[in-house]
Structure 1
Amino acid sequence: MSAIRRTVILAAAALALAACGEQAAQTGAADTLVVAATPVPHAEILEAIGPMLAEQGVKLDVRVFNDYVQPNLQVAQKQLDVNFFQTAPYLDEFNKARGTNLVRVVGVHIEPIGAYSKKVKTLADLPQGASVGIPNEPSNGGRALLLLQKGGLITLKDPANPLSTLNDIVTNPKGLKFRELEAATLPRVLGELDLAVINTNYVLDAKLSPTKDALLLEDSKSPYVNFLVARPDNKNDPRVQKLAAALTSPTARAFIEKTYGGAVQPAF
């Protein structure tokens, strides 16, 4: 065999191996689903159903975030595939404010938001002019105000508006002083406030118990279901649909009920 022919054959073989390697890499990437989630309970639920999905040929790559903005931005920018951390009102407000078009895939669970304190034992014990922390974004801020209204601490212009703001408070008998703070920071500053309305995922992460420690808690009729969220272009991706089915499976229900003891409730 001439040197020229041997070189051509070797080059062809190298190209074939490279093509096979590229195809394998693409196949592996297609089987991996990158999911953004907050630590508790979302990442824990994903970890619990991971083996079920692995048996179906889908490998979960869970990226944990401690904020509510980057998981949406990175899915919208196609840096991540889907996310699992938010309610429909939050998603709707985010899409409107940021010009994104993220979509709901399936509702998974409810995390009742609650009011907590290290200084008083009941809402009646709150002093005049008490400091109250609430989340600083429209969806969870409005949700917090609805809860405080339910507890008789304030009344709102529109008692059913989920996006009520501090400007919508019409009565405030105790003269509560509100501080709007990033949701993730509220457990850390709880000792500096008289009361704080905190999302359950951050409550659990802080080792508090909604059912034991909350002075006021949403009931099981809460409309704030947590959704798996995707883009319009990948909502029907088979991997996403397999994840949606796993998140609403008997395995997921059993894990949620056993692990969180009512602090997180299945919505399916």
Structure 2
Amino acid sequence: MKKLMALLASLTLVLAACGNDTETQTKQANEPQTLKVASLIPPMTDMLEIAKEQLAEDNIELEIVVLGDNVQPNSALAAKEVDANFFQHVPYMEEFNRSNDANLVPIEPIYFANYGVYAKNYDNMEDLPEGATIAIANDVSNIDRSLSLLAQHDVIELGEKEGTYYTQADITSNPKNFKFEEVDLLMLARAYDDVDAVLMTPAYAAPLGLTPKSDALLTEGVENDFAITLVAREDNQDDEAIQKLGEALTSDEVRAFLQENYDETAIPAF
């Protein structure tokens, strides 16, 4: 009898443990998965807010981490402080990888930020005077982008690209002897009052009340490699939550949002 009672007691404990395990697993399955994504400014943050609602339906809680400069999002991602970021084009990401021995990877191109040339006191590129100063971003990928845009419109000529990026040393013809002042990306809008012209994306032109279609002297268009892209790491690029975020950012809702609110400045890349 004692053996039977001991057996029954043991069985009861096993069943109780199994029940607790099942209850724990069920609870864990019902808890939302948190996905942390670093970004900077609208429309990127606006698009993430739309994606947040869609991800909630898949039990994924999107935490948007807004950072203050264009270095922190990649540093945070590489350090695994966030799971992804959404603020940059692929050439910029590739340069970060080279400079920091990092392994960031593109997930999905989302939209083209229509890069343009803006001038406070001139209506046409031809009006800029001899020796005018033009401000461009000082990181290597955006120096390349700026010079390529100007060469595309025959403002300057560039020689054969010797390295990964064009630099000012690659300018072979500069008929009006323009001077190029390289400044931090986040300082381009401030430079607008101090130089003759500035090359910048719509996100930095918008606070000045400027848009590519209405105000830019020249624009870039979409035939380039500079789409703003969702970026993750090699170790998490295949995670379901990351893939679902890519799907949400390329949804019909996001497309409609861009067309209704940013049709002059953000061109869908999907």
| TM score, norm. by length of structure 2 | 0.85
- What SS does structure 2 have at the residue aligned with 1:153? coil
Between stretches 43-52 and 123-132, larger displacement belongs to: 43-52
Q: Is this contact kept in 2: 1:37–1:64, CA < 8 A? A: yes
* Aligned counterparts of 1:262 and 1:55: Cα–Cα separation in 2: 31
What residue in structure 1 maps to residue 227 of structure 2? 225
What displacement does 1:251 show? 1.1
What displacement does 1:194 show? 0.2
What residue in structure 2 maps to residue 265 of structure 1? 267
Aligned pair partner of 1:80 in 69, 79, 82: 82
**For the structure 1 residues 208 and 34, does the alpha-carbon distance in structure 2 shift closer, same or farther, using more than 3 Å as the test?**
same
* Aligned counterparts of 1:202 and 1:40: Cα–Cα separation in 2: 10
Look up the equivalent residue of 2:86 and give its one-letter code. F
1:237-252 matches, within 5 Å, as: 237-252=239-254
1:154 aligns with 2:168: no
Gapped regions of structure 2 (runs ≥ 5): 1-19
Matched residues, percent identical? 37
1:145 aligns with 2:168: no
Gapped regions of structure 1 (runs ≥ 5): 1-16
Q: Deviations over 1:130-172 (max 9, x none)?
A: 0110000011111000111122221111379871001111111
1:42-121 matches, within 5 Å, as: 42-121=44-123
- What SS does structure 1 have at the residue aligned with 2:86? strand
What displacement does 1:262 show? 3.2
* Aligned counterparts of 1:89 and 1:62: Cα–Cα separation in 2: 23
- What SS does structure 2 have at the residue aligned with 1:187? helix
Q: Deviations over 1:211-255 (max 9, x none)?
A: 111110012323311111111111111111111110111111111
* Aligned counterparts of 1:162 and 1:264: Cα–Cα separation in 2: 26
Q: Deviations over 1:51-110 (max 9, x none)?
A: 111122111111112422110010000111100111111111111111111011111111
Q: Is this contact kept in 1: 2:211–2:264, CA < 8 A? A: no
* Aligned counterparts of 1:251 and 1:80: Cα–Cα separation in 2: 25
1:165 aligns with 2:178: no
Q: Is this contact kept in 2: 1:115–1:215, CA < 8 A? A: yes
Q: Is this contact kept in 2: 1:38–1:85, CA < 8 A? A: yes
Aligned pair partner of 2:38 in 22, 36, 39: 36
- What SS does structure 2 have at the residue aligned with 1:197? strand
Q: Is this contact kept in 2: 1:146–1:162, CA < 8 A? A: no
What residue in structure 2 maps to residue 7 of structure 1? none
**For the structure 1 residues 206 and 40, does the alpha-carbon distance in structure 2 shift closer, same or farther, using more than 3 Å as the test?**
farther
Between stretches 68-77 and 161-170, larger displacement belongs to: 161-170
Q: Is this contact kept in 2: 1:112–1:222, CA < 8 A? A: no
Q: Is this contact kept in 2: 1:76–1:231, CA < 8 A? A: yes
What residue in structure 1 maps to residue 217 of structure 2? 215
* Aligned counterparts of 1:49 and 1:204: Cα–Cα separation in 2: 23
Look up the equivalent residue of 1:146 and give its one-letter code. S
* Aligned counterparts of 2:218 and 2:164: Cα–Cα separation in 1: 17
- What SS does structure 1 have at the residue aligned with 2:43? helix
Q: Deviations over 1:170-208 (max 9, x none)?
A: 111111111100111111120101011012222234432
What residue in structure 1 maps to residue 182 of structure 2? 180
* Aligned counterparts of 1:205 and 1:61: Cα–Cα separation in 2: 25
Moved over 4 A (4+): 23-28, 159-162
- What SS does structure 2 have at the residue aligned with 1:36? strand
